[in-house]
Copies of this chain bind each other. A is one copy, B any other.
Amino acid sequence: MNEKYVMVTFQAGHDYWKRALKGFEDAADALNVSIEYRGAAQYDVNEQITVLEQVIAKKPDGIAISAIDPDKITTTINKAVDAGIPVVLFDSGAPSSKAQTFIGTNNYNAGVMGAEEMAALLNNKGKVGIVTLPNQLNHQERLKGFQETIEKDYPGIEVVEVKDGKGSEPVSRKAANEMLAQYPDLNGIFATEAIGGIGVGSAVSSAKGKNKVKIVSFDTDKQTLDLIKDGTISATLAQGTWKMGYWSLQFLFHLNHKLTADSKLGNISAPPLPANVDTGVSVITKENVGDFYGQ
C-alpha cells in the first residue's frame, strides 16, 4: 500500500524512543504501510511545532505524536485534525486537543504497581520513603497511586517521608541519606524516576550495604538495569514503550480506513477509538532483567 504514517517525538535519536519506534515499525510491517520518524533535535516545543507543521504539509495518512508541551502544541495538533489527518498522542498527551486517543503509561496505575511490589518485598510491613519530582504531573500521579494503595491495602506499611530528588543523582542521594539518618529503621524507598533511583541506590549501598533497604525504581536505562543485576535496586517498573508505538499505528490505520463502525455517529457523539490506552508497566527484578538488556 502507498500509505505513509509519521511518528513525531521529543528528540530524534534519543534512546527512550527506540522501543516506541520499533513498535511503530512492527505494526507497519503487519499492515504493509510505510512510516517515517521525525523528532525535534532538542527538547524545545517551538522546534516540535515546526516539525509538526512540516509533517502536516506533506499530508500523511496519520501522525503519532508525543507532546513536549501540551498547551503550546495543541493548536498545531488541531490544525492536523481539522485537515482530516488522523492523529493519536502517545507517551505524553495533549488532553485539550482534538486528537481522540492517548496511548501511554497510566502513571497512577504505575504507582499502584510500585506499591504492590514494595509491599511484596517488605512482606507487607515496614517504613517507606519516597523520592520524587513533586512539580511534575506524571510524578504526582505515580506518588498518588503509591500512597493511596499503601493506605488502602497495606495497613502494616507506613510512608514516613516524601522528598524532592529534582531528577538529579546527587540531590536524590542526599535526600535518601537524610531519610536513612532520620529513620534508622527505614525498610524501603520508592523512586518515581530512574536518575533518582540511581542516587538512592548509591546512598543505601554506602550507608547500609546493598539490599538492606529495598529500592523500587522506574524505567530501564542501562545503569538501572546494572543496579538490578547487582542487587542494589530490588525492582524497577518498565514502561510499555514498544506497545505505545505498535498501538499508535494500529489506531491510526483504523482511523484512516474508517474501520470502526461507530464512526457513522460522527466524531463528537462517539469517537471511534478508545479514549485512553494504558500500556501498563512490567516489574523487572534480578530474575528477568536479562530480557531487558539491549532492548
Contacts and interface: CB of A to CB of B under 8 A. Distances in A.
A259 B109 contact: no
Contacts of A260: 26, 243, 246
B269 A243 contact: no
A277 B280 contact: no
A37 B26 CA distance: 32
B275 A279 contact: yes
Contacts of A277: 274, 276-278
Chain copies in complex: 2
A291 B270 contact: yes
Interface of A: 22-23, 26, 30, 103, 106, 109, 238, 240, 242-243, 246-247, 250, 259-262, 265-266, 268-282, 284, 288, 291-292
Contacts of A259: 30
A151 B272 CA distance: 31
A124 B274 CA distance: 28
A103 B276 CA distance: 10
Contacts of A243: 260, 262, 272-274
A109 B30 CA distance: 32
A274 B279 contact: yes
